[in-house]
Amino acid sequence: MTIKSFVLSCLLIGAVHAEDAKDLSKHNCCLHIKDASDAWWMTNPDVTKEVCQSYYKDVAQFDSKTGTCDEHKNGTIKNADWKSKCKIYGTSLGWTDDRVGAGHDATCYPIDA
């Protein structure tokens, strides 16, 4: 193995490990907005704030600039638990269960865990 091949291999391995170690510490709740002509998911900072402060105040903090609930340590809040809390609070406001979801980093990439 040449030095060039070795260095390239190390860089590729590092890139794969970096992808696996995604920062998923910024959570948000999402609502599915329905309209006669369109339907889409939107982040909801109000629901996110309430869930963050009600259930996770010891391990996370709501960031009003991004509208996300930011863990103090990445991996503290489990995706399925976060999504279920979003659903509990969202349905208490009158949203149907299928129209409440969750995502990361101010997106509505759904958490299906």
When pLDDT is cut at 50, 70 and 90, the band that residue 9 belongs to is: very low
Q: Name the domain count of the chain.
A: 1
Residue at 51 is within a domain: yes
Flag whether 35 is in a domain: yes
Over residues 59-67, the mean pLDDT reads 96
**Is residue 5 a part of any domain in this protein?**
no
Q: Is 84 domain-assigned? A: yes
Residue 40 in this model has a pLDDT that exceeds 70:
yes
DSSP string of the chain, one letter each residue: --HHHHHHHHHHHHHHHHHHT----EEEEEEEEE-SS-EEEEE-HHHHHHHHHHH-TTTEEEETTTTEEEESSTTSS-HHHHHHHHHHHHHHTT--GGGEEEEETTS------
* Residue 99 belongs to some domain of the structure: yes
Beta pairing partners, 102: 29
How many alpha carbons lie under 13 Å from residue 29 in its C-beta half-sphere? 28
Average pLDDT, the chain: 81
